[in-house]
A and B are shown apart, each in its own frame.
Chain A
Amino acid sequence: MSSQVATRDAPFQLRGANFTMMVLKVGDPRNPNFFPVLAGKIAQAPNFFRNAPVVLDLDDIPAGVPFDFENFCGLLHNLGLIAVGLQGGTKELQDAALAAGLAALPAAKGRAEGFDPLAGTGRSPAQGVHNMQPQSAPEPAAASPAAPPAVAAEPLPYQRSTLIVTEPVRSGRQVYAAGGDLVVVAPVSPGAELLADGSIHVYGTLRGRALAGVSGDRSARIFCQSLEAELVSIAGLYRVSEDMDKSIRRRQVQIFLDNGFLHIDPVAA
């Protein structure tokens, strides 16, 4: 009892939490092209990488290769990446990294942590809803639950964040793509609700609601082949169907924010 009181009065709280982080798999840190190539990659999506925490994966570094962590992390920092930890590697590498202020993380379980797109909706993921598979990673070994961890730990070459739905989204169903885009390759019925932290693409008729950028991403967009939506919203700015211009109904459109206004523009087919 007394300890509980002490905890409540404490000036801090210790809690467990899960974070999704990028893993930077280091092949050969001595390669002179390492940082130029990485810089090119980052230039493709500077906002996504800005001050992003990364975990270094040291498994592929050949034994005996020296690694100056402080210098390496400094160069990463110049690119806007913040190294926070490492995984894998030899004992020597791990000790050196620890000395440089990086935390050793246990090896990742399975592939990049999948998320349940329907978490919190009280529904189990239905058929037709699955996370996008990386093109280079063959499905079988990694997806089999019986596979030993060593096989299952095959890392993704990038952060997977797109949710693909191939079945019609029926009235009353809610699909949420956390941390990324939502692609629906089927019609969306009235009364259905699509949510995404990123953009929403509907290759079919959008008759339900679509809310993109629900965590505040104002650059998110909504694309659909035929607009008959009940409501569309980007980063909290919404428009209901009654307020939509007749000229864009049943048209192929994109919806985006510009100067704080919600635009619904036809897309040339």
Chain B
Amino acid sequence: MAKIVTMTSGKGGVGKTTSSAAFGTGLALRGFKTCIIDFDVGLRNLDLIMGCERRVVFDFVNVINGEAKLSQALIKDKRVENLYILPTSQTRDKDALSKEGVEKILDELKKEFDYIVCDSPAGIEKGAQMALYFADEAIIVTNPEVSSVRDSDRILGVIQAKSRRAEQGLEPVKEHLLLTRYDLERVEKGEMLKVDDVLEILAIPLLGIIPESPAVLKASNVGMPVVLDDKSAAGQAYADAVARFLGEKVEHRFMKPEKKGFFDRLLRRSA
């Protein structure tokens, strides 16, 4: 049974698209046939992060409008088997999405894929609601700062009120917290919220902590999901998150500063 996983946050710039790309790629690396859909109509970015922007011909909105077949719009990843990307339109806006249109495409995708990862736009309006409406599970991407946590709290409320599962009284959407851009040093200094602080407010299970890492920006700019960079801490953290999502018991890393030797201190930030 295919599962629809929505990556959402309320707040912008916290790493939804980076996480969608890394998480979706992580699932595909585990052998699951995965499709990542960009719901951010008008602000298309997933194709850049996935490095397939030079192959986009048709998009999500074309398929909704019946201008192209789903198979024409899906882009197969060249690096990872079983991984597909459905890019969105850059020239349209969120009004191009309709519940019926989105449902039809998701139903079609469900027949073929194990996991459908929906990369939600920021906000709590139509675009974000479309991305979360059909979700079976939701991953809330949060940064360790108060505004991000507040917005995550808000989007959790939206999921609990406006998703299809809520409206139809089905089993509620399963929620996960993904804490990104976690900078241990700044947490130690008290400049950032601690994991426990965030968990206390949001009260949902922790899927993973992604440490702040220069590898993330580098990966974005070269169009490679950071999970493919298995030497970087961020890449490993995403791989761990995928494992936990699949039910494996993996201890959380990157929560405590590692004991650093003299040379590590000199060479730190090279992660």
Contacts and interface: CB of A to CB of B under 8 A. Distances in A.
Interface residues of A, number: 16
Interface stretch (B52-60, B119-127, B142-150, B172-180): B52-60
A171 B43 CA distance: 9
Given A240-B54, A242-B54, A191 B91 contact: yes
Interface string A149-185: 0000000000000000000000111100000000000
B42 A172 contact: yes
Classify the interface of chain A: helix, strand, loop or mixed.
loop
B54 A122 contact: no
A242 B223 CA distance: 14
Contact of A238 (B43, B44, B57): B57
A191 B45 CA distance: 10
Interface of B: 42-44, 53-57, 90-91, 93
A231 B56 contact: yes
A175 B44 CA distance: 18
Nearest to B42: A172
Given A172-B42, A191-B44, A240 B55 contact: yes
Classify the interface of chain B: helix, strand, loop or mixed.
loop
Contacts of B93: 122
Contacts of A171: 90
Contacts of A94: none
Nearest to A191: B90
Interface string A213-238: 00000000000000000110000001
B91 A174 contact: yes
A242 B55 contact: yes
A241 interface: yes
B55 to A, nearest CB: 5
A193 interface: yes
B91 A193 contact: yes
B57 A173 contact: no
A240 B91 contact: no
A242 B56 CA distance: 9
A231 B55 CA distance: 8
A75 to B, nearest CB: 45
A171 B57 CA distance: 16
B90 A172 contact: yes
Contacts of B42: 172
Nearest to B45: A191
A171 to B, nearest CB: 6
Given A238-B57, A240-B57, A242-B54, 14 more contacts: A122-B93, A171-B90, A172-B42, A172-B43, A172-B90, A172-B91, A173-B91, A174-B91, A191-B91, A192-B90, A230-B53, A240-B54, A241-B54, A242-B55
Nearest to B96: A122
A126 B93 CA distance: 18
B42 to A, nearest CB: 6
Interface in A89-119: none
B222 to A, nearest CB: 15
Interface string A181-222: 000000000111100000000000000000000000000000
